A = this chain, B = another copy of it.
Amino acid sequence: MTRRNAFYAQAGGVTAVINASACGVIETAKRHRDRIGRVYAGRNGIIGALREELIDTYRESPSTIAALRHTPAAAFGSCRYVLKDIDENPAQYHRLIEVFKAHNIGYFFYNGGNGSANTSLRISQISEKMGYPIQAIHIPKTIDNDLILTDNSPGFGSVAKYVAVSIEEASRDLAAMCETSTKVFILEVMGRNAGWIAAAGGLAARQQGDPPQIILFPEIPFDRDHFIDHVRRNVLKHGFCSIVAAEGIHYRNGTPLTSSLQTDDLSHRQLGGVAPTLASMIKHSLEYRYHWAVADYLQRSARHIASATDVEQSYAVGAAAVEYAIDGENAVMVTIERGKGKRYSWTLGKAPLGKVTNVEKPLPRHFISGDGYGITDSAREYLLPLIQGEDYPPYNNGIPVYARLKLQQVPKKIVAGFET
């Protein structure tokens, strides 16, 4: 077999552990030097390929690459950029193949969510169509946990742990203050369409009546009167009410509780501000003192409180992608498969990309309690293994030591640029 180079890129919203997958890809590729020449990382995802901005990851020291395992966010830059359909914009695909040819790239590893699974599929299709062989392997990543055919999506477990730990701690603050001051605390977490992240807040409640007493899911239409009544009951019973709210909650008619006018290129409404909106409803109806927090980026970059299970799985899916490529696989996503036993176990598998894309995994209704404000034992059983274990980064002078990369670019070989 001839030796060919690999392209690796990171896509979409980042996570605390996506670099662990990068680490898995690079370290595993280096053990297959007979088959894989070098790993080039796209600067800012697929855009790096279009612009021929390729970072030579082999110019980084082995210790820097190893440090990726404990470094949050996307070390090579990410992008929110979706390729058009092949028929709609063939030039884009011709450009990609041109760049891949110029750099002898035969392996395409794309690390992302649904959108990038779709990109990976298209790359494998155009490769066949244009007669330039590329094996495209998708490496799953999304805090949204909405990829199907995999037990979970790497990145989710760490957000889940962050949210569970944070609401546990903040609820203790609230409980201590409630006698003379704050009676309601609201933590807003990510989750536009699915309540996976909000559900993780429920893990903090280990005994009956433990906070958070209310979780608001995008899956459950928001009913203001019912909500206010539930807050009141909890304050009367416990002295306080701790709430986790997904950013995407909305009324029965689909109107979001609040939304800014800002939209991004993917036509995602940029939400945020659900927590202060809920707080002002409570203030207006019940006159309770409140506090609210919006975790935003903190939740998905919090490598300092990452789940060890998540880190391990993230590394493993990266490593497996390389092994699958070496084995000749193409157009597949690496999957995590949960063992059948009582004790949590997992192995890796693969799923054809054609089956993965354009389908989102919803939070099952039986994971949400009857009243719509909590999680069930089934949810707990599914979620708990994903937040197991701590995997602390090294510290220096009180702050984590995260990787600083050289990000040295491979000299361009194509004269023409490309407008992205």
21 A-B pairs in the complex with CB atoms less than 8 angstroms apart: A72-B172, A74-B177, A79-B179, A79-B181, A166-B298, A169-B298, A169-B303, A169-B400, A172-B301, A173-B297, A203-B398, A260-B283, A262-B283, A262-B290, A272-B276, A273-B276, A294-B294, A384-B397, A384-B398, A388-B398, A392-B392
Q: Mark A382-400, 1 if CB is under 8 A from B, else 0.
A: 0010011110100101111
Closest B residue to A273 using CB positions: B276
> Quick one: which of A274-315 are within 8 Å of B by CB?
275-276, 280, 283, 289-298, 300-305, 307
The answer to whether B296 and A291 touch across the interface, beta carbons within 8 angstroms, is: yes
The answer to whether A176 and B399 touch across the interface, beta carbons within 8 angstroms, is: no
**Residues of A within 8 Å of B, CB-based: how many?**
77
Instruction: Specify which chain B residues have a CB less than 8 angstroms from the CB of A165 in the assembled complex.
Output: 304, 399-400
A194 at interface (Cβ–Cβ under 8 A)?
A: no
Q: Given the complex of chains A and B, what is the CA–CA distance between A174 and B303 in angstroms?
A: 14
A227 at interface (Cβ–Cβ under 8 A)?
A: no
The answer to whether B80 and A398 touch across the interface, beta carbons within 8 angstroms, is: no
Given the interface pairs A80-B181, A293-B295, the reply to whether A72 lies near B169 with Cβ below 8 Å is yes
The answer to whether A289 and B304 touch across the interface, beta carbons within 8 angstroms, is: no
Most B C-beta atoms less than 10 A away, residue of A10, A389, A390: A390
Min C-beta distance of A205 to chain B, whole Å: 10
The answer to whether B305 and A304 touch across the interface, beta carbons within 8 angstroms, is: yes
A168 at interface (Cβ–Cβ under 8 A)?
A: yes
Most B C-beta atoms less than 10 A away, residue of A169, A301, A402: A169
Instruction: Specify which chain B residues have a CB less than 8 angstroms from the CB of A122 in the assembled complex.
Output: none
Instruction: Specify which chain B residues have a CB less than 8 angstroms from the CB of A389 in the assembled complex.
Output: 398
A204 at interface (Cβ–Cβ under 8 A)?
A: yes
Min C-beta distance of A80 to chain B, whole Å: 5
Instruction: Specify which chain B residues have a CB less than 8 angstroms from the CB of A161 in the assembled complex.
Output: 398-399
Min C-beta distance of A206 to chain B, whole Å: 8
- The count of identical subunits is 2
> Quick one: which of A142-176 are within 8 Å of B by CB?
161, 164-166, 168-170, 172-176
A14 at interface (Cβ–Cβ under 8 A)?
A: yes
Min C-beta distance of A359 to chain B, whole Å: 24
The answer to whether B293 and A173 touch across the interface, beta carbons within 8 angstroms, is: no
A47 at interface (Cβ–Cβ under 8 A)?
A: yes
> Quick one: which of A108-148 are within 8 Å of B by CB?
none
The answer to whether B80 and A180 touch across the interface, beta carbons within 8 angstroms, is: yes
> Quick one: which of A352-403 are within 8 Å of B by CB?
384, 387-390, 392, 395, 397-400, 402
Instruction: Specify which chain B residues have a CB less than 8 angstroms from the CB of A399 in the assembled complex.
Output: 161, 164-165, 168, 203-204, 206, 387
Q: Mark A321-360, 1 if CB is under 8 A from B, else 0.
A: 0000000000000000000000000000000000000000
The answer to whether A179 and B47 touch across the interface, beta carbons within 8 angstroms, is: yes
Nearest 3 pairs of A and B residues by beta carbon: A387-B398, A73-B172, A74-B176
The answer to whether B72 and A173 touch across the interface, beta carbons within 8 angstroms, is: yes
The answer to whether A262 and B289 touch across the interface, beta carbons within 8 angstroms, is: yes
Min C-beta distance of A31 to chain B, whole Å: 27
Q: Given the complex of chains A and B, what is the CA–CA distance between A161 and B296 in angstroms?
A: 19
Q: Given the complex of chains A and B, what is the CA–CA distance between A295 and B176 in angstroms?
A: 18
Q: Given the complex of chains A and B, what is the CA–CA distance between A73 and B178 in angstroms?
A: 12
> Quick one: which of A172-208 are within 8 Å of B by CB?
172-177, 179-181, 185, 187, 203-204, 206
Given the interface pairs A13-B177, A294-B292, the reply to whether A402 lies near B301 with Cβ below 8 Å is no
